[in-house]
Structure 1
Amino acid sequence: MRGKFLQSWTLAYDLVVVCLYFFTLAYMIKYFDVQSFDIKVHNFLLQDYLKEGAFPAPPGYYAILYVVDLIFRYKYPFVFSALLVLTFFFWLKFSITFRWLSKQLHISTFQVGLLSASLLFISPIFIPAIDGSFWYLGKFTPTIWHNSTLIAVFPFCLLLFFETLRWQIGGFNKALYSIFFLGLVIILIKPSFMFCYIPALPLYSWSQSLRFDRRFWTSCGFSMSFLAMLFLEKAWIYDLDPMIKIMYTPEERSTVVLDPLVVHLHFSKEPIFDLLCSFPSTLVFMLFWGRVGLKDKPFVFSFLLLVFSLMVYLLLAETGFRKFHGNFYWQIPIAMFLHYLCMVVVVVNQFVKEKKVGIRPFLVFSLVYLIQVAMGIAYWHRIFDGHALN
């Protein structure tokens, strides 16, 4: 009986999450204009490339969309298929989160579901009197509703994180095959997460034993292999793309340069305020559980990923027409989501362990965390009320 009860809760959460994402995406696809909505931009981009007999680079998401559209096209090219594909990947992100939290936390399935659902909305804190209409631009957030390639790659990044932990902590060498496969899939869909994963992996491996052992050198081998793939993909995107010569003059074409803060300060008018509002739960966590967190292996790995993801965004930029597209931003939402995920596990487990002793820190963290969730729900409501994603 208990197993059936737990299974019914799991199915209920799955159904709610699928409906949430399906109808939200359907609304945005129908009512948002193409200039402000990446899903429509990517659909039209795919159509333009197909006319030239090619796929946009990297091709992973577009290839999936193309195949699904062959089966489920309804009226317009890639519209209904995008709705199905992105709803599936959103649900997969939730499902992976739910199952990992179920293994890590000794709480009820109902509570795990609520916690997993809250992570779908976690957001920076917005103060309209200061932020104005910019609730998203200039801040750092783990919740993205509009970028199709990020939505598609998100669950694979979560799996790569967990498989890496399985190998690093548990010593399961079979996970090595999964790590390589998932890294390749990520690079073929949207390589952004690898920008922080590649430098973080060897450093994390070394931190576990403080020795240059076999695991460290294997990590270096993975990082170098993935880095080589990124350089090949860079050449594909910047030099071999057949549409570059058609759509842009030589002066408009992009390259990668070291240009600290230029993109961030373009979007952030109050950088210190935006930084504090983006990481309030982290500040509370480090105040009360910093020492515990730094001994927790998943949290340490997620924190390294977050640090490197921020460094990449703040230091690197593109020139030409891509300059303010923010293409070095997209690893941050994934790293932040993993950071919150690991943070929540530490806090809940410490509370269950300490019980009444840890009630005040837990209440403070819960209050700040719930404010961030409420802000995320307000941002979601704004999609319908204000047709705004900025």
Structure 2
Amino acid sequence: MQTIESRRRVRSQYGVVALLYALLGAAVARMLLIQAADPLAGDFAQHLTSARNPQGREYSLFTILYRIMDGLWHSDLPIVLFLVAMVLTGVWLCGLFFRRHSPIKNVLLSSVLGIACYCVDPIFLPWLNPYRVLGVQAGGVWHNPTLLGIKTMLMALVLVYISICEQMEDLGAPLPTKKLLLFCALLTVATWIKPNLAMSVEPAIAFFLLFDLCRHRGKGFWKLAALAATVIPSLVVIGWQFMVSFTNAPAGEESGITFALGMEIIVWARRPVCAILQSLAFPLLVLAFSVPQVFKDRKYGFAWAIAGVAYLEHLCLAETGERAGDGNFSWGVQMVMVYLFAVSVIRLVEDWPWLKQRLWGRGIAAAGAVLFLWHTFCGVQYIVLFILNKGYFM
């Protein structure tokens, strides 16, 4: 009888998860269809136009996939369904990340947290900064399809990377060749979708390669070298993308990259420092009592390393020319939010046994829960407003 009840409970949990996935998928599809019909509602219409222009200078794998799907079906719908599938895959991977790397093993709870981390947005305080996703660093951004792609690829990469690190921690263990090849393939494909992923992830990989090399005093050098070699194909892709984007451009479309401190963030943010705090309120609160874990807990440290690199790029670099106001160095920050919020939730859950023993610890845990729910509420509210207002500009 207990087994039957247990099976019923599991089936009901999967039913609720399926319903939540269906609701999110429908919302994403609706937002994409709105953008396909109105070029001012988001970037999707422009991406479709580029895919349908054989003379276009686009560098993204998605452009090729769109062109193939459009050639087969002559409709936006297959492309929309493809992107919805990408989002739901990312949400599933985030839930899987919780089940593999946290005490949270319940399918329903891990799936809800995966959805929440995928949707989180900055805490909206209009008297500080008037926009919900402009000027702030929002994880729940839905108007750029390639961002949706690299968020999913990031979660896949993280799962493989953490597995590689766990296996290589044993210096006597064999080289995880298959996982390294998979990681290399995922990183190359992700870079081909949007280079911001590699630009943020690869410096973080390099940092921890040096950290591990020093920690083990040079032991396991060739294993670390093998992991380092996995980034080479993606670097080739970045070089090609740079050539496409910044050389031999038609007259009037020339652009470049320049050092411009704060240029991207001040375009839309009235108070840039507040914008960063609004975006990172929950992760920063958790970091306040978890700094040592940055070096002890690889999944946590890797997230902050990626975020740190992404923020440096966002705050220090900008494009020149016709794309100067596009904020293309912000995508790395927006990409990493799903991962950063997920590991921050896990860190809070894992630290709860000692936090609950202290009054201030219980206060911090309660504040963390409130902030996470607030971030999630702002993200869900933004989705609803996007659909109602038929656009992202708000």
Name the TM-score class by shorter chain.
0.7 to 0.9
Residue 60 of structure 1 is matched in structure 2 by: 61
Match of 2:376 among 364, 367, 373: 373
CA shift in 2, pair 1:154/1:303, >3 Å: same
* Structure-2 separation of matches of 1:177 and 1:88: 24
CA contact (8 A) 2:286 2:368 kept: yes
Match of 1:92 among 84, 89, 94: 89
Match of 1:361 among 336, 359, 364: 364
CA shift in 2, pair 1:62/1:8, >3 Å: farther
Residue type of the partner of 1:190? K
Match of 1:198 among 198, 202, 214: 202
Residue 328 in 1 paired to residue 329 in 2?
Answer: yes
CA shift in 2, pair 1:226/1:63, >3 Å: closer
Deviations 1:149-207 (A, max 9, x none): 11123212211122122112222332110111011111221121100112111211222
Residue type of the partner of 2:386? I
* 113-122 vs 17-26, which moves further: 17-26
CA contact (8 A) 2:269 2:275 kept: yes
Residue 261 of structure 1 is matched in structure 2 by: 262
- 1:43-122 correspondence runs (5 A): 43-47=48-52, 49-50=53-54, 52=55, 56-71=57-72, 73=73, 77-107=74-104, 108-122=106-120
Residue 135 of structure 2 is matched in structure 1 by: 138
CA contact (8 A) 2:153 2:186 kept: yes
1:57 Cα deviation from its structure 2 partner = 2.6
* Structure-1 separation of matches of 2:354 and 2:110: 17
Residue 26 in 1 paired to residue 34 in 2?
Answer: no
* 363-372 vs 27-36, which moves further: 27-36
Deviations 1:227-250 (A, max 9, x none): 23311221123336xxx43xxx2x
* Structure-2 separation of matches of 1:164 and 1:66: 32
* 286-295 vs 112-121, which moves further: 286-295
1:334 Cα deviation from its structure 2 partner = 1.9
1:343 Cα deviation from its structure 2 partner = 1.2
* Structure-1 separation of matches of 2:319 and 2:389: 31
Q: Helix, strand or coil: the match of 1:151? A: helix
* 321-330 vs 58-67, which moves further: 58-67
Q: CA RMSD in A?
A: 2.4
* Structure-2 separation of matches of 1:309 and 1:136: 17
1:319 Cα deviation from its structure 2 partner = 1.4
Runs of 4+ in 1 over 4 A off after TM superposition: 352-358
CA shift in 2, pair 1:63/1:8, >3 Å: farther
* Structure-1 separation of matches of 2:102 and 2:96: 10
Match of 2:144 among 144, 147, 164: 147
CA shift in 2, pair 1:27/1:97, >3 Å: closer
Residue 245 of structure 2 is matched in structure 1 by: 237
Residue 297 of structure 1 is matched in structure 2 by: 298
Deviations 1:306-347 (A, max 9, x none): 100111122222111111112221111222221111111111
* Structure-2 separation of matches of 1:266 and 1:65: 31
* Structure-1 separation of matches of 2:231 and 2:370: 39
Deviations 1:79-105 (A, max 9, x none): 212220111011001111111211223
CA shift in 2, pair 1:152/1:260, >3 Å: same
CA shift in 2, pair 1:194/1:156, >3 Å: same
CA contact (8 A) 2:43 2:145 kept: yes
Residue type of the partner of 1:155? T
* 302-311 vs 120-129, which moves further: 120-129
Q: Helix, strand or coil: the match of 2:255? A: coil
* Structure-2 separation of matches of 1:215 and 1:203: 15
Deviations 1:60-117 (A, max 9, x none): 112222333345x3xxx44212220111011001111111211223332222122222
* Structure-1 separation of matches of 2:301 and 2:392: 32
Residue 173 of structure 2 is matched in structure 1 by: none
TM-score (norm 1): 0.87
Match of 1:218 among 207, 210, 226: 226
CA contact (8 A) 1:265 1:271 kept: yes
* Aligned positions, number: 374
